[in-house]
Structure 1
Amino acid sequence: MAFRRFAAVLAVAASLAAWPAFAGPLVKETVEYYSISGRTGAELLREMNRHGPRHGFLRRAIAQTRYAPDIRGKLVKQDGVCRMKGGRFLLNITYVYPRPSEKLPSDVARRWKAFQADNVRHEKMHGRIAREMAVKLDRVLKTFSYRDRNSRCNMAMLKLEREVDKVVREYNRKQRVFDAKEHRQGGAVEKSIVALLGKPSG
């Protein structure tokens, strides 16, 4: 159960393009699954540890929320002030979950249903935080203005990159805080795994 963070600074300059003005960010959500086998909670957990989406170089996650951000618009200069024309923030969110490849015994199926529901709850919270960030970044784009002596708005571009980076770092921190709470000893993730294994939560 992990989220995929944005880079520290979005490549604003590389992704600027003309785009019509709409209200609010454009956020799309999709769901993907990876297949696992097993007929017990322990076997399913072992498969998730082997085949789950990568979280860093060495670790794998049970489920994951991936983000693909994009900034649309064009910096234009008028009366000495650079502003975003058609500025809009786009965000594609992909949720990745495990899915058993065969029918489970009834008791395991019952525990799996509860386990998967908790996976969805966890990842949807990552998605919610990402949506909040998208709203804030979209507002930054639409309200950005900077008086720049450079005809190509070079200094304005640097300032916009810094403002975007500030928002991204703020929401990356919120994602980490949420994960730390969920993954702490005795937290929601541990309880969910213990329940899948069919062990008493103690």
Structure 2
Amino acid sequence: MKLMAALALACIAGWPTQADAKPKITEKTEYYQISGKTGVDLLWDMNRKGPRQGFLTKAIAQTRFETDFQGDMDFQNGVCRVSGGGVVMKITYIYPQPREKLSGDMVRRWKLFQADNVRHEKVHGRIAREMASVLDEKIRSFATKGDRRCSNAMAKLKRETKAIYDAYEKKQNDFDRQEHREGGAVDRSVAVLVGKR
């Protein structure tokens, strides 16, 4: 039984082999264009054009990741286990980029602001990488008693992988709450951009 369909995840090309014994993770960076000559103008345009975060809000920067599973659920000698299993993750970092050349002190302030964006999003990326490693280990080592259809085994694996997702989603959200609290790192970074620090 194919894991991709059973766990309701998309299939992509380029699966790792069992010999790799680790997830295959790729990263790329994208930018969206913003306009403005002052920090306030740039911030306003980020709030207008930034990547969607939830239904109504926009983010200044964002880390997106797609996780896909490889492998088949095999039955042998009363045991269901994953054959050729592994995880592939694609991480995409999205940042703002001024359309026009900045001048004067705005150059310095923008560099500081963008450096903090990168710092923040790289933490999200690190947490996502940790999750991919834990998922990969779970899939490669998974084995449980079952019948020839392995339906109970697939249900068990689905529960266990969801528990991993939920735990790491909490880590991502906890980090954001810490960073976005009043007077936190994001507030300080925005204050630098608009000239209040």
Q: TM-score, normalised by structure 1?
A: 0.90
Q: How does 1:67-78 map to 2 (within 5 A)?
A: 67-78=65-76
Whether the 8 Å CA contact 2:144–2:153 is kept in 1: the answer is yes
Whether the 8 Å CA contact 2:16–2:88 is kept in 1: the answer is no
Q: Which of 126, 137, 140 does residue 139 from structure 1 map onto?
A: 137
Looking at structure 2, the residues matched to 134 and 56 of structure 1 have their Cα atoms a distance apart, in angstroms, of 23
The offset of 1:15, in angstroms, is 4.7
Whether the 8 Å CA contact 2:61–2:96 is kept in 1: the answer is yes
| Aligned-pair identity (%) | 52
Looking at structure 1, the residues matched to 154 and 10 of structure 2 have their Cα atoms a distance apart, in angstroms, of 10
Q: Which of 124, 127, 132 does residue 125 from structure 2 map onto?
A: 127
The offset of 1:13, in angstroms, is 3.8
- Alignment deviations for residues 105-163 of structure 1 (CA, whole Å, 9 cap, x no partner): 121011000100000000000000000011100000011001102x1211100000001
- Alignment deviations for residues 45-99 of structure 1 (CA, whole Å, 9 cap, x no partner): 0000000000111100000000111000110011010000011011100000000
Whether the 8 Å CA contact 2:16–2:24 is kept in 1: the answer is no
Looking at structure 2, the residues matched to 38 and 16 of structure 1 have their Cα atoms a distance apart, in angstroms, of 39
Whether the 8 Å CA contact 1:136–1:167 is kept in 2: the answer is yes
Q: TM-score, normalised by structure 2?
A: 0.92
Number of residue pairs matched by the alignment:
190
AA aligned to 1:34 is Y
Q: Which runs of 4+ in 1 moved over 6 A?
A: 16-19
Match of 1:169 in 2: 166
Over the aligned positions, Cα root-mean-square deviation in angstroms equals: 1.6
Q: Which of 90, 93, 111 does residue 92 from structure 1 map onto?
A: 90
Unaligned runs of 5+ residues in structure 1 are 1-9
Unaligned runs of 5+ residues in structure 2 are none
Match of 1:51 in 2: 49
Match of 2:79 in 1: 81
